[in-house]
């Protein structure tokens, strides 16, 4: 077999301590790599790369009809929760929320609590109607899903008579 | 990301993480070292295959890892700098009665590891040891005094 690397004689290598300059350089790379690992683990532990103690954000639309708690950064295929806190029309016993189709498709929607009374296709969106106890002023709706997209996606939700609330989620692999 | 890309990425990440955490884990079989290796294996499988329980998925990952191994071996043969990054170089930690404390700290080796290697070679005194070398795979070689 052809010798591609012709190493010096063994005695010379041992006398020179092999390749201390390389090992010094590798030691620096090792330390940098360990700090990199520590930084990545810290980001994950804090929830900046998916679910964690600081992963949730809250966003409210201009007319305060919908407030959402969501995770701006989610992990592909990992469960995540969206909580919509919506205003109930005065005297009403139903709340209708129109959500972006992407919420069902890309978000990998698995369950909605409470269960919607009706689902209606509304253009590129889906309109969901939820029963609400008479007299309630706010309704909390919980969507759970496992994102089936990578990268960013823009999502929207709005009440029948309300401003559109938009938010973005970014899925890491 | 499909299975092939994930398997290739996992191979490289595991390779460099093992290199970064030090050569001890690669060679020692103490409980703490085995914990790392077992968990690396288990976590990598779930990261690569996820919910894909198909035979095709598993085989594509397995063959990808095999091919990555061939590719890395070829690159090691072709480029000496790559070989040194992947495997490291031997390190002298003991010479003529003098310990290289800095290197030993870096390698997380103790004097006992060198003494053990000397005993395994039938030596009962470090005075008979010319050089103690931590090899690329983490094992300790002892060269006796002439």
Annotate B37-106 with three-state secondary structure: HHHHHHHHHHHHHCCCCCHHHHHHHHHHHHHHHHHHHHHHHHCHHHHHHHHCCCEEEEECCEECHHHHHH
b/e sequence A67-101, b meaning 16+ C-beta within 10 Å: bbebbebbbbeeebbbbbbbbbbeeeeebbbbbbb
**A25 part of contact set with chain B, CB < 8 Å:** no
Task: Give the pLDDT mean for B41-65.
Answer: 90
Q: Report the residue from A4, A13, A30 with minimal CB separation from B78.
A: A4
Q: Which of A64-73, A120-129, B24-33 has the lowest mean pLDDT?
A: B24-33
Please report the pLDDT score of residue B27 as a whole number: 63
* ipTM of the predicted assembly exceeds 0.90: no
Q: Do B20 and A14 touch (CB under 8 A)?
A: no
* pTM assigned to the model: 0.80
On chain A, the residues whose CB falls within 8 A of the CB of B88 are: 23, 26
Task: Give the pLDDT mean for B37-44.
Answer: 89
Q: Which of A18-22, A130-134, B30-34 has the lowest mean pLDDT?
A: B30-34
On the question of pLDDT at B36 being above 60, the answer is yes
Angle at A15 between CA A14 and CA A16, to 5 degrees: 90
The confidence band for B64, taking pLDDT boundaries of 50, 70 and 90, is very high
Residue B91 and residue A23: Cα distance in Å, rounded?
8
The confidence band for B31, taking pLDDT boundaries of 50, 70 and 90, is confident
On the question of pLDDT at B28 being above 80, the answer is no
Structural element, H or E, at residue A34: helix A20-46
Q: Are A132 and A139 in contact (CB under 8 A)?
A: yes
Task: Give the pLDDT mean for B44-71.
Answer: 91
Please report the pLDDT score of residue A103 as a whole number: 86
Comparison of pLDDT for B78 and A6, the residue scoring more: B78
Percent of chain A with pLDDT over 90: 63
According to DSSP, residue A169 is labeled: E
Task: Give the pLDDT mean for A87-108.
Answer: 88
**Topology (CATH level 3) of domain B91-144:** CRO Repressor (3.30.240)
On chain B, the residues whose CB falls within 8 A of the CB of A150 are: 1
Percent of chain B with pLDDT over 70: 96
Please report the pLDDT score of residue B25 as a whole number: 56
**A35 part of contact set with chain B, CB < 8 Å:** no
The confidence band for A86, taking pLDDT boundaries of 50, 70 and 90, is very high
Please report the pLDDT score of residue A104 as a whole number: 85
Of B91, B132, B137, B72, which Cα lies nearest the Cα of A19?
B91
> Which chain A residue has the Cα nearest residue B88?
A23
Neighbours of B132 (CB within 10 A): 25
**A14 part of contact set with chain B, CB < 8 Å:** yes
Q: Which of A43-57, A130-144, B26-40 has the lowest mean pLDDT?
A: B26-40
Please report the pLDDT score of residue B22 as a whole number: 79
On the question of pLDDT at A1 being above 70, the answer is no
Residue A100 and residue A145: Cα distance in Å, rounded?
14
On the question of pLDDT at A69 being above 70, the answer is yes
Please report the pLDDT score of residue B26 as a whole number: 58
Please report the pLDDT score of residue B24 as a whole number: 66
On the question of pLDDT at A7 being above 90, the answer is no
By residue count, chain A amounts to 173
Q: Are A112 and A143 in contact (CB under 8 A)?
A: yes
């Amino acid at each position: 077999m052809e010798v591609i690397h012709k190493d010096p004689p063994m005695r010379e290598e041992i006398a020179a301590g092999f390749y201390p300059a390389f090992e010094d350089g590798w030691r620096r790379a090792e330390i940098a790599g360990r700090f990199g690992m520590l930084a990545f683990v810290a980001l994950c532990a804090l929830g900046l790369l998916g679910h964690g103690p600081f992963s949730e954000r809250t966003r409210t639309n201009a007319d305060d009809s919908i407030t959402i708690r969501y995770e701006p950064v989610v992990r592909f295929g990992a469960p995540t929760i969206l909580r919509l806190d919506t205003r109930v029309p005065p005297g009403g016993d139903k709340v209708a929320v129109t959500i972006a189709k992407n919420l069902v498709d890309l978000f990998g929607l698995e369950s909605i609590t409470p269960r919607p009374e009706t689902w209606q296709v509304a253009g590129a969106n889906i309109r969901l109607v939820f029963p609400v106890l008479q007299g309630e002023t706010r309704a909390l709706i919980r969507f759970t899903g496992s994102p089936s997209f990578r990268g960013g996606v823009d999502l929207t939700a709005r009440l029948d008579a309300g401003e559109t609330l938009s938010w973005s989620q970014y899925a890491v692999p | 990301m499909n299975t092939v890309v994930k398997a290739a990425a996992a191979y490289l990440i595991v390779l460099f993480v093992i290199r970064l955490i030090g050569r001890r884990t690669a060679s020692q079989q103490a409980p703490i070292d085995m914990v790392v290796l077992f968990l690396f294996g288990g976590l990598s499988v779930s990261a690569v295959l996820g919910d894909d329980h198909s035979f095709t998925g598993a085989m594509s990952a397995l063959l990808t890892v095999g091919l990555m191994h061939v590719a890395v071996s070829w690159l090691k043969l072709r480029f000496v700098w790559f070989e040194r990054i992947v495997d490291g170089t031997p390190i002298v930690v003991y010479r003529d009665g003098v310990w290289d404390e800095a290197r030993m700290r870096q390698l997380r080796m103790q004097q006992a590891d060198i003494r053990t290697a000397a005993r395994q070679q039938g030596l009962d005194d470090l005075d008979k040891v010319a050089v103690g070398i931590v090899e690329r795979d983490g094992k300790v070689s002892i060269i006796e005094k002439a």
